[in-house]
Copies of this chain bind each other. A is one copy, B any other.
Amino acid sequence: MQNIFFNTHHAPIGAFASFTLGFPGASGGLGLELGRPANQNIYIGLESEEPLRYELLPFYEEVSARSESERYEAGLHAPLASAAQLRSFERGGIRREFQLGTDTWSAGDLTFRIHSPVRSIPDPELAEREDLRRALVPAVLCELTVDNTRGAHSRRAFFGFQGDDPYSAMRVLGDGKADGVRGVGQGRHLAIATQDADVRCGLGFRLTDILEERSENLDFGLGVAGALLMDVPAGERRTFEFAVCFYRGGIVTSGIDCSYYYTRLFDRIEDVAAYALGAAPEILAASKASDDLLAHSRLSEDQRFMLAHAIRGYCASTEMLDRDGEALWVVNEGEYRMINTFDLTVDHLFFELKMNPWAVRNVLDQFIETYSYRDEVHFPGDTALYPGGLSFTHDMGVANVFSRPGHSCYEKTGLDGCFSHMTHEQLVNWLCCATTYVAYTDDQPWLARRLSIFEECLQSLLNRDHPDPEQRNGLMGLDSSRTDHGAEITTYDSLDKSLGQARNNVYMGVKTWASYVALERLFAAQGRADLARTSGRQADLCARTIAQSLEGCCIPAVIGEGNTARILSAIEGLVFPHFHGDRDALDPEGRFGNLLGALKTHFQNVLKPGVCLFPDGGWKLSSTSNNSWLSKIYLAQHVARAVLGIDHAMVTANADAAHVEWLLDPELSYWAWSDQMVSGRALGSRYYPRGVTAILWLSEE
């Protein structure tokens, strides 16, 4: 990798928390419930061979904490002197080993490793408490190793941070109540802790005030910086273990009152620390297993990097809540922090089914029970209303505020662009998720309980095609009355009409086709031949409409509306029958051969420079927009290789390298993994969870 100084998440699962680190300056830190890095000073360093000269990893800024102490000494002018001096390690001498479960920095005689294993959460309705504790402990483990075997004198190392909570002070942990846990933290919610009795903990106005402070003054409560100090004698090599911990007690959401699920498992942050430190051997083994998962795969180095980076982003956005004793699963939408944005849920689907299938069911149920609605529909430019049906909201709220039932925080009426409704897309998303959940888990009890919803969804889809069954063509033809005579949009809300308009969109069309195909199978298996037949007929109509719209080499982005844009995302919906193992549907010689052939032709003709390739080889989702989304590119790459059988080199060759370079931008890699790349620059959907679509790559052999 060309640039090793990019931020990435080191996140426990389900805690809406991240120890973000990697971008130089006060650009990372212990972030809880944030849509951005915490921007704290993180102090990781070691005394050099020259006493009192400390060298640090470059994750801090030389702050004028002088001003912090001056606040107390309005009338004094005596300088605060400290013998300690700080400097960053030379950038060129710093090495980083970035993997899925571990992230390791080394410089000089210092090694710092963060362990954030990626693992499943057992179904909370069935799991043992101890298994839930292991999976959900809101902490990441860090190891700091000092190799002073060649040193001439004892050297002091440290790990600390400067918190930025507006409400509560920094503090020294260590009343001895929780298994000898000691450390520094802020309020009740952040901490860096250890059980190592050789480590001292302290606060000061500045790091330099802590490093050389006498031990009895280390508890200085006015300090805004905190650090743990370790002395390593000459000739020794020592490793110290730390837990970076998060804890938010009490009810944390509004709209729906929830607490963090982990508060059922841990009483306070000291308990979190004690558990994590006590479980260190197990955590280290788990992070190694996560590393191995990718290291033993056939993915290229670029692919591994992107997948690991993306999974970290996903984990940091997850939030497992407790609502009246039951688990409520949330993925927050990166910098936007929207709750369970449905058009992200459908992209997280493949990763979640692999890791936590119960979470998929949990979210589908939430949408049914609280975030669904029924509407009417209208033709564009026509005021007449026709029966609509069931659909689902774009999201469930934002930043721990649940929106009112039946409404997202995002959707407004009267619009036809960004912030309009996504009624059709969320209907299709529910079906894509639900049919895939059933196909993957074979959860028949749930299906039996929810079968009427599938039926309602089918009727809703039909109504959105055309009120007259004879005139249906399989595509969305009418917009929701919720738009109040505006127009529905798609998840690609910030692109132009090529992807942003829902009606007659080929991206939406192929997903709709996939829904009909899945419904046909599902209803057939349930002995509902009538509904299966209806679904199958719609699948045929949809396939035919799309296939027939091939104009020469390409399918227009919006069918039948004179749109000349070309979109890569046309092929996206093919992922569902593929993931369902529906070989019939994807047989090039089979029932949908025309559709498949048209999409393949289309794809091969648009994946070209000047159409859907950027000059650097990166993929351009639409020929008419410079805004391209990595999560969707990852998905399309998978479909191109695994479904359309496009040559691996053509799909992957320069593209992955370009995409990696986008993520490693020396300025924008502050945002960790980001989705929306405008001409390769991360300008939207930053700090984002959606990149886990790349998990599909692992299934390709």
Which of A71-79, A307-315, A440-448 has 4 or more CB atoms under 8 Å from chain B? Answer: A71-79
Contact of A222 among B76, B220, B410 (CB under 8 A): B410
Closest B residue by C-beta to A171: B401
Beta-carbon contact of B188 and A254 below 8 Å: yes
Beta-carbon contact of B336 and A72 below 8 Å: yes
Whole-angstrom CA separation of A250 from B496 in the bound complex: 47
Beta-carbon contact of A75 and B407 below 8 Å: no
Beta-carbon contact of B410 and A495 below 8 Å: no
Beta-carbon contact of A678 and B401 below 8 Å: no
Which of A133-141, A392-400, A544-552, A573-581 has 4 or more CB atoms under 8 Å from chain B? Answer: A392-400
A217 contacts partner chain B, Cβ-Cβ < 8 Å: yes
Tell me the chain A residues, 403-430 only, with Cβ under 8 Å from chain B. 403-404, 407-410, 412-414, 417-419
Q: Which residues of B sit under 8 angstroms from A219, Cβ to Cβ?
A: 403-404, 407, 409
Q: A72-B418, A74-B627, A251-B188 are in contact. Are A168 and B33 (CB under 8 A)?
A: yes
Q: Which residues of B sit under 8 angstroms from A625, Cβ to Cβ?
A: 75
A354 contacts partner chain B, Cβ-Cβ < 8 Å: no
Interchain nearest-CB distance for A238 vs B (Å): 28
Beta-carbon contact of A168 and B74 below 8 Å: no
Whole-angstrom CA separation of A221 from B408 in the bound complex: 8
Interchain nearest-CB distance for A633 vs B (Å): 15
Besides A74-B494, A168-B400, 20 more A-B contacts (Cβ < 8 Å) are A33-B168, A71-B336, A72-B684, A73-B418, A75-B496, A75-B625, A75-B678, A169-B409, A171-B401, A187-B401, A188-B253, A188-B254, A214-B413, A214-B414, A216-B413, A217-B414, A221-B410, A222-B338, A222-B398, A250-B250
Closest B residue by C-beta to A395: B221
Q: Is the interface of A mostly helix, strand, loop or mixed?
A: loop
Interchain nearest-CB distance for A26 vs B (Å): 15
Interchain nearest-CB distance for A417 vs B (Å): 7
Beta-carbon contact of B254 and A251 below 8 Å: no
Interchain nearest-CB distance for A650 vs B (Å): 26
Closest B residue by C-beta to A213: B412
Closest B residue by C-beta to A74: B684
Q: A167-B32, A221-B398, A221-B410 are in contact. Are A75 and B684 (CB under 8 A)?
A: yes
A47 contacts partner chain B, Cβ-Cβ < 8 Å: no
Beta-carbon contact of B71 and A684 below 8 Å: yes
Beta-carbon contact of A409 and B222 below 8 Å: yes
Whole-angstrom CA separation of A676 from B74 in the bound complex: 8
- What 0/1 pattern do residues 492 to 507 of A give for CB contact below 8 A with B? 0111100000000000
Whole-angstrom CA separation of A494 from B70 in the bound complex: 10
- What 0/1 pattern do residues 643 to 654 of A give for CB contact below 8 A with B? 000000000000
Contact of A75 among B399, B484, B495 (CB under 8 A): B495
Whole-angstrom CA separation of A34 from B217 in the bound complex: 26
A124 contacts partner chain B, Cβ-Cβ < 8 Å: no
- Interface CB pairs A-B, < 8 A, 24: A33-B167, A72-B418, A74-B494, A74-B627, A74-B676, A74-B684, A75-B495, A75-B627, A76-B417, A76-B494, A78-B417, A166-B166, A167-B400, A168-B252, A168-B254, A175-B255, A187-B401, A188-B251, A188-B252, A216-B413, A221-B410, A222-B336, A249-B251, A250-B250
Q: Which residues of B sit under 8 angstroms from A407, Cβ to Cβ?
A: 219
Beta-carbon contact of A74 and B685 below 8 Å: yes
Interface residues of A (CB under 8 A from B): 32-34, 71-76, 78, 166-171, 175, 187-188, 214, 216-217, 219-222, 249-255, 335-338, 397-401, 403-404, 407-410, 412-414, 417-419, 484, 493-496, 625-627, 676, 678, 683-685
Beta-carbon contact of B75 and A676 below 8 Å: yes
Contact of A683 among B74, B408, B678 (CB under 8 A): B74
Closest B residue by C-beta to A34: B166
Q: Which residues of B sit under 8 angstroms from A249, Cβ to Cβ?
A: 250-251
Beta-carbon contact of A400 and B222 below 8 Å: no
Contact of A217 among B171, B413, B676, B678 (CB under 8 A): B413
Closest B residue by C-beta to A72: B418
Whole-angstrom CA separation of A253 from B188 in the bound complex: 7
Q: A72-B493, A410-B221 are in contact. Are A337 and B169 (CB under 8 A)?
A: yes
Interchain nearest-CB distance for A67 vs B (Å): 12
Whole-angstrom CA separation of A408 from B169 in the bound complex: 14
Closest B residue by C-beta to A221: B409
Interchain nearest-CB distance for A22 vs B (Å): 21
Q: A409-B220, A410-B221, A413-B217 are in contact. Are A335 and B494 (CB under 8 A)?
A: no
Interchain nearest-CB distance for A152 vs B (Å): 29
Whole-angstrom CA separation of A414 from B217 in the bound complex: 9
Whole-angstrom CA separation of A220 from B219 in the bound complex: 46
Interchain nearest-CB distance for A181 vs B (Å): 13
Q: Which residues of B sit under 8 angstroms from A33, Cβ to Cβ?
A: 166-168
